Amino acid sequence: MFHTIGETAGEIWRLLSNEGPMSISAVASRMKQPQTAVYMGIGWLAREDKLIFTETKRGIQLSVKR
């Protein structure tokens, strides 16, 4: 499972890097991984300080730190 989370985190980072900021639900819907793996991947990236979390009226938007 640890390997899957790391791969998912990489996919999330590439998605946000290529497509720009998006909501957590948009990230989850674009991924081919189970929703729980996506949430764990987001947590992985957050722990590594690779994401910016921005609160909007509709929820939280994710973007990558450069």
Q: Please report, for the domain that includes residue 30, its CATH number.
A: 1.10.10.10
Residue 66 pLDDT grade (very low, low, confident, very high; cuts 50, 70, 90): confident
pLDDT value for 4: 86
Domains held by the chain: number: 1
Q: How far apart are CA 15 and CA 50, in angstroms?
A: 13
Structural domain that includes position 9: 2-64
User: Does residue 3 register a pLDDT over 90?
Assistant: no
pLDDT value for 39: 96
Backbone CA torsion sign across 26, 17, 66, 44: positive
pTM: predicted TM-score of the whole model, two decimal places: 0.91
Please, what is the end-to-end C-alpha distance for the chain in angstroms? 28
User: Does residue 2 register a pLDDT over 80?
Assistant: no
What digits encode the pLDDT tens for the residues 16-53?
Answer: 999 999 999 999 999 999 999 999 999 999 999 999 99
